[in-house]
Amino acid sequence: MGIFSKIAEGLKKTKENFLGGLQRIFNSFTKIDEELFEELEEQMIMSDIGVETSVEICTRVRKKVKERGITDPNDILELIYEVISEIMGDDTGLDLSVSPAVIMVIGVNGAGKTTTIGKLCHQFKQEGKKVLVAAADTFRAAAIDQLQVWTDRAGVEIVKHAEGSDPGAVVYDSLEAAKARGCDVVVIDTAGRLHNKKNLMEELKKINRIIDNKAGECSREVLLVLDATTGQNAVSQAKLFSETAPITGIVLTKLDGTAKGGIVISIKNELGIPVKLIGVGEKIDDLQPFDSHMFVDALFDLESAKNKAAQNAAENEANNDVESEYEEAAAEYDETADIAEEITEDAPIEEIVEETESEIIPESEPIPEPDIIPEPEPIIESEPESVEESEDTSKPEKKKKKGFFSRLFGKKGSDDE
């Protein structure tokens, strides 16, 4: 899977929340008005872009709409894409130019510092760099053992002291060892939380002084690890840590498990701190260099939008072909109707019929006469000569019955006697 595919997959939930909400708004409006922009601001705030950044984005979009005379709400999405691209700006990668490059990793407990260090060391190792890790988080229980597991997995060296020892001493020994062993990169793990803000500030200042003394000429990075699932709380953490250390970049972890990836835009706009690395999975190679242009493209799903636009263009072309065929057929029908109307106006119906018959049947061929079928002769029934004959034929004469005494005594004769 390529880098863009990983970023796009990691931003899936953020994209569905952010882009899906914008599309619903555009589909419910037929004109551009103030109510539309209020809905857009609300959707951006819900996507954890932040109030200040959301208002600024909508202000810039309003200006572009006015300048370009846009009236279709669906065209605003492209303007939002342009404005967010302008806010994100160009990328600045890790500065590893002067060896040993020192990378100090800071952040609250649970944000993913140790995991980030392990993945970062694996990435450097794959690039052929020699890496040394300083286990300077000596306050959290089992922090050193957890870091040892990740360094073993990445195949890099580690410098560690006993739990509860001085973090400054661990950093000092690590820098000495890095110079002696010819290491390219030194990664320093720091405590995520001390007893109070003052102790945290003092500890970080002390480590910075040691780095200045031992590796002042080397390249330096201070990376703040933030949990993307915390939303605007991550922005508050960035503001707090920026007061205690000169942060040069942000590592945004767990971006694949949240719909609050909009904090990347908020951090860059409100703090001016670039995001340099993002975590888009749990695998050891899922820590990716941040590409702002790729991030915005994946957030707005431009690849799918381009494919959908091409599909719509093909469908429109097919529909246009069908419409043109229909128009040609309709024009032909209208032309035929006009001709028929002209003929009926200029000539009587009888002449039109004669002309039509002459076109169908040539004059040289005589019209065959139909065969004459003789009519059947009518059947005449003979009338009866008289009523009596009619009655005789229809009703036979009844025989007279013998009388009772005749049958009894056997006398012949009729009952008339």
Burial class (CB in 10 A: 0-12, 13-18, 19+), 4: middle
Kindly state the tokens that stand for 297: 């493209």
The rounded distance, in Å, linking the Cα atoms of 303 and 293 is 13
Confidence bin at 406 (pLDDT 50/70/90): low
Give the mean pLDDT of 250-271: 80
How many other CB atoms are found less than 10 A from the CB of residue 299?
Answer: 23
Residues 209 and 102 sit within 8 Å (Cβ to Cβ): no
The rounded distance, in Å, linking the Cα atoms of 195 and 201 is 11
Alpha carbon of residue 26 to chain centroid: 15
Residues 112 and 136 sit within 8 Å (Cβ to Cβ): no
Helical H runs in 89-142? 113-126
Contacts of 222 (CB under 8 A, 6+ apart): 104, 106, 245, 246, 247, 248, 249
The answer, yes or no, to whether residue 71 has pLDDT greater than 80, is yes
The rounded distance, in Å, linking the Cα atoms of 115 and 120 is 9
Q: How far is CA 239 from CA 49, 50, 233, 276, 364, in A?
A: 15, 14, 10, 17, 106
pLDDT for res 192: 77
The rounded distance, in Å, linking the Cα atoms of 220 and 211 is 9
Helix (H, G, I), strand (E, B) or coil at 104: strand
pLDDT for res 159: 93
Q: Which position has the higher pLDDT, 414 or 251?
A: 251
Helix pair angle (76-88, 292-300), 10° resolution: 160
* Contacts of range 198-207, beta carbons closer than 8 Å, 24 or more positions apart: 200/244, 201/243, 201/244, 203/167, 204/106, 204/244, 204/245, 205/244, 206/167, 206/168, 207/104, 207/136, 207/167, 207/168, 207/171
Confidence bin at 386 (pLDDT 50/70/90): very low
Give the mean pLDDT of 183-192: 90
Tens digit of each residue's pLDDT (9 = 90 or more) over 117-165? 999 999 999 999 999 999 998 888 788 889 999 999 989 999 999 888 8
Confidence bin at 60 (pLDDT 50/70/90): very high
